[in-house]
A = this chain, B = another copy of it.
């Protein structure tokens, strides 16, 4: 079992919010342990599966015709939501880097959100805790979404191909998490 297993799913898969549940990767693909799974598919999250209570309050519509999705799960003991958010933020910076490396210019990150220079929203993301793990979902539009209350853009607008982009990101996150593990196994405490 490796520190973090990463996988890109060949078939498309619709994201409906159930994938944020505990052990989804294991139940669905037999992929066990800390993991980051990427896949392409539409996105439509019914209110009962929304994690962000601001979305629930506002009656937000979270949907996109085609997104590149990432689902991370870390089996923290004990589970700690703050770690989930910190990892989610770190992942967001990797997405930004990877988009730039592929020629996208003027992008801006604000928390876990990415925007184009024209203030079009590229992505959605949420971090959460389960009784046995912490997880985050990061979805970036492939095709721009409409009717979601904000201007959006997608990878297609940026001229970025989802699959190689996803594969680079999976590898970048794997290295990052390996680096975190490396850092916390060579530092002594300060008294």
Binding site for B on A (CB under 8 A): 1, 3, 20-23, 26-27, 30, 32-34, 51-54, 56-57, 75-90, 93, 110-112, 126-132, 135, 176, 178-191
Contacts and interface: CB of A to CB of B under 8 A. Distances in A.
Contacts of A80: 77-78, 80, 83
Contact of A191 (B27, B88, B130): B130
A179 B90 CA distance: 13
B27 A53 contact: yes
Contacts of A130: 131, 189-191
In this complex, the member of A26, A56, A87, A188 whose beta carbon has the largest number of chain B beta carbons within 10 angstroms is: A188
A27 B50 CA distance: 12
A53 B26 contact: yes
6 contacts: A1-B3, A78-B78, A82-B83, A86-B86, A128-B188, A131-B188
Nearest to A81: B184
Contact of A111 (B93, B126, B183): B183
A187 B52 contact: yes
A181 B128 contact: no
A45 to B, nearest CB: 12
Given A86-B86, A130-B189, A189-B191, A111 B22 contact: no
B93 A188 contact: no
Given A89-B176, A111-B179, A181-B1, A186 B53 contact: yes
